[in-house]
A and B are shown apart, each in its own frame.
Chain A
Amino acid sequence: MLEVPMLDVRGLEARYGPVQVLFGIDLSVAEGELVALIGANGAGKTTLLRTLSGLVRATGGSVAFDGETITAASPERRVRRGITQVPEGRQVFTTISVESNLRLGAYVRGRDEAARDLARVYDLFPALAERRTSLAGELSGGQQQMLAIGRALMARPRLLLLDEPSMGLAPRIAAEILDIVLKLRDSGTTVLLVEQNAAAALEIADRAYVIENGRIAMQGTGAALLDDRQVMSAYLGLD
């Protein structure tokens, strides 16, 4: 690669107490790309995203964003720099209204800019506009996922980390969410997407990584991995 990738991860290691989970992850995401990350349950996908957003401290290796090392930066600083994670299981603020959830998404940016972006998010998710005064905990699963994504967009991320956004949703809603992800990529947001539904993820991804027991096992374009027999059998349940 000639230019510096937006996100450059080298030899990343992470652990929970004595248990090491990530063993030297190398991964990069170029500006404007939609990169998918697939792998079995417990492979370390969530841990990798949490290490990128700063919730989990790296115990080895480095993370660079726009060419600057941020391996030890706090989550707050990473949000300010443009990395926002949509966590697994949505994690909306259940006891707070939909609109306040969205405003909190712009916490690092200040009120005036938030007001402008609210309209943009409601445009993208009309269902949220209808329920702006409801408590987030009263929304359906699909709406909560939209809210979680909308809240992340309120931070105006340059790199969006999405952790299984279609988990537990009806197929039609899941497809809708993945459509939105594509739309976001097309409008210039760089995306790193973790997906349980590997086939769907590979179909929309520019490139993809397969993670196995905390190590990158394979990588390639979405199309190439879709064609790969090994990937097919291991992650798509097909032979």
Chain B
Amino acid sequence: MLSQAVQFLFSGLTLGAIYALVALGFTLIFNASHVINFAQGEFVMIGGMTTVFLVGFGLPMPMAIALAVAAATGIGMALEKLAVEPARQASITTLIIITIGASIFLRGLAQLVWDKKLHALPPFTGDAPIGILGATILPQSLWAMGVGVLLLLALRWFFARTLLGQAMLATANNRMAAQLVGINVRRILLLSFALSAALGAAAGILIAPITLTAYDVGTNIGLKGFAAVMLGGLGSSAGAVLGGLLLGIAEAFGAGYVSSAYKDAFAFVIIMLVLLWMPRGLLGGAAAERV
């Protein structure tokens, strides 16, 4: 009984770490621009697919990963420069629609450059399950959770301790005042797309050995990340992490105890219930825009 619950918890935390990274990507861009970037899932796909193909070309895994993250970051910055920046004067709704267009475009491009098949990335360090408390965990799950935690700590440090991180927070809090202290808010927006894309790509690479990847995995995982954001409270980084973890856990337990056919529905029901009671999400409102 207990071992089963622990088993579900492990898979929930693994998924949750991934959702949290994607949700943080949404949050970074939202805080810099109030735009909800619906191409966020595509960064996840680009990270996973690029790594799969570079490894297929015979590149060592660490190099393939570094290049894939760099590629996604470049695409994120290009998205900001070529699609968002030129439409800066347009309404937020227009900008959001632009990101939806970009996601369709990137998905189509991935299908052209690669293919429509499912691909597996080899696990980073083998696939012999490790036994803990009567349950087993895949080494790749430990990678996902461990790297997820490291990335979170790195982000925390960046926002709390560096002037550039503080400038991002300041821009999120008051864009006009940020300009008045000499912060180039357009560069901050570019940086937020770069960071979001890198986080998304990292998520995509970490999860690819567990759930497989394909040109269209971004749609579902992007939606989950967005749901996590709404659950945690739009604009709150802590909320994004909390929302991601809760969503992952809810999904894993729903799939385990009820039916895996309903795992997505189960998660979304929880979100709707929470939002019914707390329309601004768990950590929305007062905690918004804080890290």
Binding site for B on A (CB under 8 A): 53-55, 74-76, 79-80, 84-85, 87, 91-96, 100, 103-105, 107-108, 111, 151-152, 155
Which of chain A's residues has its CB closest to B287's CB?
A95
**Residues of chain B at interface, number, CB under 8 A:** 18
Nearest CB of chain A from residue B288's CB, rounded to whole Å:
8
- Nearest 9 Cβ contacts at the A-B interface: A79-B182, A108-B182, A91-B177, A75-B179, A76-B182, A93-B173, A107-B181, A93-B170, A95-B173
**What is the CA–CA distance of A84 and B180 in the complex, to the nearest angstrom?**
7
Nearest CB of chain B from residue A5's CB, rounded to whole Å:
23
Q: What B residues does A54 contact at CB under 8 A?
A: 179
- Quick check: A79 and B177 within 8 Å, CB to CB? no
With contact pairs A79-B181, A155-B181 given, residues A103 and B173 touching in the complex (Cβ less than 8 Å): no
Nearest CB of chain A from residue B203's CB, rounded to whole Å:
26
- Quick check: A100 and B166 within 8 Å, CB to CB? yes
| A–B complex contacts, Cβ < 8 Å, 25 sampled | A53-B180, A54-B179, A55-B176, A55-B179, A76-B179, A76-B183, A79-B181, A79-B182, A80-B182, A84-B181, A87-B177, A91-B176, A92-B174, A93-B169, A93-B174, A94-B173, A95-B290, A96-B166, A100-B166, A103-B163, A103-B166, A104-B163, A105-B181, A107-B163, A108-B181
- Quick check: A111 and B177 within 8 Å, CB to CB? no
Q: Is B167 an interface residue (CB 8 A)?
A: yes
- Quick check: B180 and A95 within 8 Å, CB to CB? no
Q: What A residues does B260 contact at CB under 8 A?
A: none
**What is the CA–CA distance of A84 and B169 in the complex, to the nearest angstrom?**
20
Binding site for A on B (CB under 8 A): 163, 166-167, 169-170, 173-174, 176-184, 289-290
- Quick check: A74 and B184 within 8 Å, CB to CB? yes
- Quick check: B289 and A95 within 8 Å, CB to CB? yes
Q: What B residues does A93 contact at CB under 8 A?
A: 169-170, 173-174, 177-178
Q: What A residues does B180 contact at CB under 8 A?
A: 53, 55, 75, 79, 84-85, 87, 91, 152
Q: What B residues does A94 contact at CB under 8 A?
A: 173-174
Nearest CB of chain A from residue B233's CB, rounded to whole Å:
14
Partner of B176, one of A87, A108, A155: A87
Partner of B181, one of A55, A74, A95, A151: A151
With contact pairs A84-B180, A151-B181, A155-B181 given, residues A104 and B173 touching in the complex (Cβ less than 8 Å): no
Q: What B residues does A96 contact at CB under 8 A?
A: 166, 169-170, 173
**What is the CA–CA distance of A155 and B289 in the complex, to the nearest angstrom?**
25
Q: What B residues does A104 contact at CB under 8 A?
A: 163, 166-167, 170, 178, 181, 183
**What is the CA–CA distance of A91 and B178 in the complex, to the nearest angstrom?**
9
Nearest CB of chain B from residue A114's CB, rounded to whole Å:
9
**What is the CA–CA distance of A175 and B289 in the complex, to the nearest angstrom?**
34
**What is the CA–CA distance of A80 and B183 in the complex, to the nearest angstrom?**
10
Q: What A residues does B163 contact at CB under 8 A?
A: 103-104, 107, 111
